[in-house]
Amino acid sequence: MKRPSRNLIRKTVSLASALVAGRRVANERICRRIEICARCPYVRIKRTRKGRKMLCRICGCRLRGNRSLINLARYEEAKRYGCKHPRGSRWKKEGV
Ligand code: SF4
């Protein structure tokens, strides 16, 4: 049986900590974050039968404009959680 990669384990731990202890951000901030991501060169937009799906290419996390549980834009950024843009968090730079 193949063992999960370190990267996958790190992502899972990071998401789990956000789900358990992360503080949620207001809907307006989620929407502003999604607007920032939509302009980011690291976003991946997948078309599915249900519509558009946005993923961050750096961490692989889902980005949604709503309060879905598994949504990178839903929680306050923490040391290991949030926008991982190589030049620093784009959200933090724009104050969201
Ligand atoms: S790097 Fe940051 S701004 Fe870019 S898609 Fe990922 S989360 Fe969004």
Domain regions of the chain by residue span: 24-93
DSSP three-state, residue 52: strand
* Contact (Cβ atoms closer than 8 angstroms) between residue 24 and residue 59: no
> Which amino acid is it at 64?
R
Counting every residue written for the chain, the total comes to 96
Which pTM does this prediction carry? 0.87
For ligand 1, the distance from its centroid to the CA atom of residue 45, given in whole angstroms, is 12
DSSP 3: P
Q: For atom 1 of ligand 1, which residue has the closest CA?
A: 85
The model's pLDDT over 43-80, given as tens digits with 9 standing for 90+, comes to 999 998 988 899 999 988 999 998 888 899 999 998 88
Can you give the pLDDT at residue 57? 94
Can you give the pLDDT at residue 94? 96
Mean pLDDT, residues 26-31:
96
For the cut 90, the answer to whether the pLDDT of residue 12 exceeds it is: no
